[in-house]
Structure 1
């Protein structure tokens, strides 16, 4: 038990050092802002490797593709919880959606990704070199995203449009906090058993503006000597990304249905994705869902194809496999997924649980 406690404290100290160093070395217009929004929501979607942009049609569509909200018939709500890094970081999601009329729907959701009870050691050693553990305090580093969605059918048959307005709040204890704002746009088209989807995230480029507490920042500089002596720049940007999806449903016998989807996740920059150039990088994802009479679900997915550089400078291809199961009964659907946040090297797998409520059943 003592070794577990010591390891936990060690991780907290390490995380605090990383947070402070990142804050000290912040640069203007950092390009990888709001990465927590790429994790995803809903165990059902994550079990399919996030390949759902063409098929999502319930309350969780507000994240994956707001155009899918048109598919709901009554009030819907969902909750999700997962933890990462041996439980140090917690990721939670809640959403609600409802139809306005037969042609349109609205939704709202909130995401929180946070690390709580981080040890603040900036005052551990006083000016005379004395160590006082009573000076250690706790703080949280948390990211929040609030999504406001609207969707409607367009004049063309089977064509749906959805729009997200998202408000982002990021907090690092009393040291710094930021506000951000951006838009997403999604389309879905269905013909026979084929479905197509496109999701453009951060189409206007999402900006985060940070406010740094100078007094708290002074304590960081004293705690980490030799770092920048000037306040860091305070603007981050999130560049646009596009997801393309195509899906097809198959009937297997009398009772079974198979949903398959293939997606392309496109970033307009050079990355470690399997297909990469100076103009854009593409990461494919494949998801399969087998259900028995819409009651029991089995899901498989694979994505996050990344080239990693080994110590001998050779390159290897890593992937992120996913597995999920679900159960739907009387308007309540419970889903589970086994996945992880990065699938790189020895990254730990994560257990993800979600529950979705559909009020349609209770009106019958």
Structure 2
């Protein structure tokens, strides 16, 4: 039996904001303006127009002391010299959770054979389309997203949303980008199995007596970026990038008002002969309240390495999805394959 309620929660689908591609994560996600490969479908679909051949991207990472696994796969292809498409899939899950709701039977006996396993998993499937505009250096892209979230046999949901992005490059190669996420507000509608949920209620008497919200709204987010690539003696390059990540809510971000909050991110990439890359970044600037009721500015640093040869690129990032607590840092690896290697 499924049950729907009418309450609304305004924050959801945060797994879609974690980020993909170790190269981007190593730069603290400050890539909105210059992303130009298969991973642009996630960061800014307008960047897909720079593809010269088909590309495939894969990534795996573990968070929260390897409790949660994050997997990502994407494929992109140019349609012609003015447009491109991409498909991507994200899975963020905690697997093999012990279900002890039936551990004690009606007679009060403990039976460990009644313990089962379940998973809670979030899926995001995205279709991206990008096209060059008649204005030199100006591109746009659109994402259509389908969200699927599953909590064992207890509940599941479907959600749908749209993203819109643009990029612009000046004649002197300054790059600007804008990414508007969930521009229509992404809605998730949950179906809760009342019978399974009642087992949780019976397992903890006097607690969890109310059904959770079954309608969620993901409010829009805006990301604005600017970047510049500098060449040194042909062999060396330095890419510098800045992002302003805006949420239309009052948060602990370093710039926060009742209308919106802004969180800056800085990213750097030092390259050698377009083969070896060293990356660093700073992001997630927060005003954290201390025990003495004072605010302390904190941030999340990131580091990364990359190696590219003959159409194959392997990237590594040392980062996390929270603050700079050492316990939460994760090692992220990603692989990108350009199909030109087969030609």
Alignment TM class, shorter chain as reference: over 0.9
- What whole-Å deviation, never above 9, does each CA across 1:54-91 have from its counterpart, x for those lacking one? 00000000000000000101110000000011111100
The match for 1:244 among 224, 228, 234 is 224
1:1-364 correspondence runs (5 A) = 28-191=7-170, 192-343=172-323, 345=325, 347-363=327-343
**1:306 alignment partner, SS class:** strand
* Structure 1 alignment gaps of length 5 or more: 1-25
- What whole-Å deviation, never above 9, does each CA across 1:259-293 have from its counterpart, x for those lacking one? 11100000001000000000100000000001111
Partner Cα distance (1:228, 1:325) in 2: 46
Q: Is the 8 A contact 2:9 2:213 kept in 1?
A: no
**1:216 alignment partner, SS class:** helix
Partner Cα distance (2:203, 2:102) in 1: 8
Q: Is the 8 A contact 1:61 1:68 kept in 2?
A: yes
Q: How many residues align?
A: 338
Q: Is the 8 A contact 1:147 1:164 kept in 2?
A: yes
* Structure 2 alignment gaps of length 5 or more: none
Q: Is the 8 A contact 2:200 2:208 kept in 1?
A: no
Partner Cα distance (1:148, 1:158) in 2: 23
Task: State the shift of 1:129 in Å.
Answer: 2.1
Partner Cα distance (1:262, 1:233) in 2: 37
Instruction: Flag as ranges the 4+ runs of structure 1 deviating above 6 A.
Output: none
More helix by share: 1
Partner Cα distance (1:228, 1:353) in 2: 39
Partner Cα distance (1:47, 1:233) in 2: 36
Partner Cα distance (1:317, 1:216) in 2: 44
Considering only aligned residues, what root-mean-square deviation do their CA atoms show, in Å?
Answer: 1.3
Q: Is the 8 A contact 2:283 2:300 kept in 1?
A: yes
Partner Cα distance (2:141, 2:79) in 1: 14
**1:360 alignment partner, SS class:** helix
- What whole-Å deviation, never above 9, does each CA across 1:212-231 have from its counterpart, x for those lacking one? 01110110111122235343
Partner Cα distance (1:232, 1:339) in 2: 32
- What whole-Å deviation, never above 9, does each CA across 1:246-269 have from its counterpart, x for those lacking one? 001111223101111100000001
Q: Is the 8 A contact 1:340 1:347 kept in 2?
A: no
Per mean C-alpha deviation after superposition, the further-off stretch among 245-254 and 228-237 is 228-237
Partner Cα distance (1:173, 1:296) in 2: 43
Partner Cα distance (2:74, 2:199) in 1: 39
Q: Is the 8 A contact 2:65 2:327 kept in 1?
A: no
Provide TM-score, normalisation by structure 1: 0.91
More strand by share: 2
Provide TM-score, normalisation by structure 2: 0.96
Partner Cα distance (1:340, 1:187) in 2: 28
**1:218 alignment partner, SS class:** helix
